[in-house]
Amino acid sequence: MAFSNLQEFIAALESARQLRRVRVEVDPELEISAIADRVSKSPSPEGLAGAPRTDPVHGGDGGVGLLFERVRGSTIPLAINLFGSYARMRMALGCEDFESLAARVQKLARPEPPATLVEKIKMLPELAKIAGYAPKRVKRGMCQEIVRTDDADLLALPIIKCWPHDGGADEEVIVGKTPNAPQRHGVETQDGRSFPLGRYITFAGVYTTRPDGSEPNIGMYRIQVTGPRSAIFHCHMHHDGARHHRLWAAQGRDMPVAIVLGGESVLPYAATCPLPPGISELMFAGFLNDGGIPMVPAKTLPLDVPANAEIVIEGFVSATETAREGPFGDHTGFYSLADSFPTIRVTAITHRERPIYPTTIVGYPPMEDYYMGKATERVFLPLLQMLIPDVVDYNLPRWGAFHNFCFVRIRKEYPLQARKVASSIWGAGQMMFSKFIVIVDEDVDVHDEQAVMFAVGAHVDPRRDTFIVDGPMDILDHAAPYCGAGSKMGIDATRKIPGEGIVRDWPRPMTMPTEIVRLVEGRWAEYGLL
């Protein structure tokens, strides 16, 4: 089972020796980030023993979750790297392995039709269970034990600065540019307090709806804090949160937004999932949670928020006002550049009596987001296979930052099938951002990256087997000639068959007969080679 709130999850991590407390005072300006960066790249408590089959080389990393009890400038403890290993992700999702969760997704997405009346009757409890995944409105929630409206103050939260140039000048993050102005370290608020630049809320579910209240969405978008009651809403144009904002702005109305920290252990993951259109993140969270998420009405907004959250920031995203947001050290290992994004006016902050503030840091992989992404890779394989039945398996290697490389294993049946598969992947939701897609045969393990590269070297003629298309790109891809648009490459590393431009015989791969392999395995001890 998943956990009903963040502090319950933290207690379970501590009992499992998956979390360490830091009791000395630490600085939210870079120090916490540097600690988390170092820990996330260290071995996890279980090491490779906890690694899944799909990540046999690096799957033992991730370190431990961290709870900082004393953060300078705040009375609220801070938690980071809670989801930063395979073992902790499995605990958060309440599953023994991602494949079992994927099987549940497949059963939900493609149920077997009942053949008899008895089978139909047996399905009724399952249908009732699905109905129970919907969010449930309750009267009271721990997230509103303390309510602050006129005295709401973002500066009371232990919000971190992740990387040195976050929120600074663009000139500081572009190679070849020379800073033409002194570096800015902070701004003065209206009440005379100094607030450092570059503080970001990085691990919140951002709740929005359409203007008519329909289509509730949760996205994990970064929020740059600019003052006690002001912030900036960073959401890329392709995401539902940005689409909702465009609908509100078209009516000349500010968009209600709830920035939610904590809650059920499945919520942060659900907020990051690439769900099909029409599928609510809250409904999916209820599925992962094996029960609907309790929700309470927000205090100053026409939105419901998770009752078991640690902290909820309520506000409105301006329909017309924008501000300079960024730069920000991103999961690509580079700073994303500054741009204009809508401002947020905070109307309330509610929280538990003794809340814990969850956050994360992204950067050169692997970090916490890597393990969340790998969970998505496994859990959503059945949905990808529903869209593209040719796909046997796929791998988003950790050094590819999720959108740079995609290795795909197919069951090849006809000429140029690899091109068809690559085109289908580029048309499948957020897979459209894949810059390089490598297609291999069914007998190549896509999680053995050396085997994939061997297939590329052995089976690819660069002129015949590579193909380039133009289309949408990840906004964070700084190599693209335009923001959000550029070229992508498909690489057909399958063995070639007639109809694919070969003019000579294709050689047979070398393998030992099965009976010889079994003979050697059976006699290995006799050889004296142990």
SS3 sequence of 104-173: HHHHHHCCCCCCCHHHHHHHHHHHHHHHCCCCEECCCCHHHCEEECCCCCHHHCCCEECCCCCCCCHHHC
pLDDT band with cut points at 50, 70 and 90 for residue 171? low
pLDDT higher at 186 or 395: 395
Let me know if residue 102 belongs to a domain. yes
pLDDT for 179 equals 52
> Beta 466-472 vs 485-492: how paired, if at all?
antiparallel
Statement to judge: residues 179 and 75 lie in one domain: no
Statement to judge: residues 330 and 441 lie in one domain: no
Domain residue limits at 481? 388-492
pLDDT band with cut points at 50, 70 and 90 for residue 447? very high
pLDDT band with cut points at 50, 70 and 90 for residue 181? very low
In this structure, the dihedral spanned by the alpha carbons of residues 46, 52, 56 and 62, taken in order and rounded to 10 degrees, is -50
**Side-chain-side CA neighbours of residue 82 (13 Å):** 31
Domain count, the chain: 3
Model pLDDT for residues 67-78, shown as the tens digit of each residue: 999 999 999 999
Model pLDDT for residues 494-522, shown as the tens digit of each residue: 999 999 988 888 898 899 999 999 999 99
pLDDT at 298 over 70: yes
Let me know if residue 521 belongs to a domain. no
Tokens at 463, concatenated:
């002129």
pLDDT for 120 equals 47
pLDDT at 174 over 70: no
pLDDT for 150 equals 94
- Quick one: average pLDDT of 378-398? 94
CA-closest candidate to residue 78, choices 117, 18, 132, 35:
35
pLDDT at 107 over 80: yes
pLDDT at 95 over 80: yes
Instruction: Tell me the residue type at 344.
Output: I
Statement to judge: residues 223 and 268 lie in one domain: yes
Statement to judge: residues 149 and 69 lie in one domain: no
pLDDT band with cut points at 50, 70 and 90 for residue 156? very high
Statement to judge: residues 330 and 425 lie in one domain: no
Q: Which residue has the tokens 């297609």?
A: 439
d(CA 275, CA 205): 15
Q: State pTM to two decimals.
A: 0.90
Domain endpoint, select from 315, 342, 359: 359
pLDDT for 66 equals 98
Statement to judge: residues 268 and 219 lie in one domain: yes
pLDDT at 122 over 50: no
Model pLDDT for residues 405-417, shown as the tens digit of each residue: 999 999 999 999 9
pLDDT for 124 equals 45
Domain endpoint, select from 106, 123, 158: 106
Model pLDDT for residues 211-264, shown as the tens digit of each residue: 999 999 999 999 999 999 999 999 988 889 999 999 999 999 999 999 999 999
pLDDT for 106 equals 87
Statement to judge: residues 220 and 315 lie in one domain: yes
Statement to judge: residues 181 and 286 lie in one domain: yes
pLDDT for 474 equals 86
Kindly state the percentage of the chain with pLDDT values over 70: 91
Statement to judge: residues 310 and 165 lie in one domain: yes
Statement to judge: residues 158 and 249 lie in one domain: yes
CATH number at residue 396: 3.40.1670.10
pLDDT for 123 equals 47
Statement to judge: residues 90 and 162 lie in one domain: no
Let me know if residue 445 belongs to a domain. yes
Let me know if residue 44 belongs to a domain. yes
Let me know if residue 167 belongs to a domain. yes
User: What does the mean pLDDT of the chain come to?
Assistant: 91
Let me know if residue 117 belongs to a domain. no
DSSP-based three-state secondary structure for 417: helix
DSSP-based three-state secondary structure for 463: helix
Would residue 189 be called left, alpha or beta, if left means φ above 0 and alpha means ψ between -120 and 50 degrees?
A: beta
- The answer to whether 153 is a known catalytic residue is no
User: Of all helices (H) and strands (E), which one includes residue 382?
Assistant: helix 381-387
pLDDT band with cut points at 50, 70 and 90 for residue 133? very high
Statement to judge: residues 89 and 154 lie in one domain: no
Let me know if residue 381 belongs to a domain. no
pLDDT at 182 over 70: no
Let me know if residue 451 belongs to a domain. yes
CATH number at residue 258: 2.30.110.10
Catalytic residue among 166, 240, 330, 393: 330
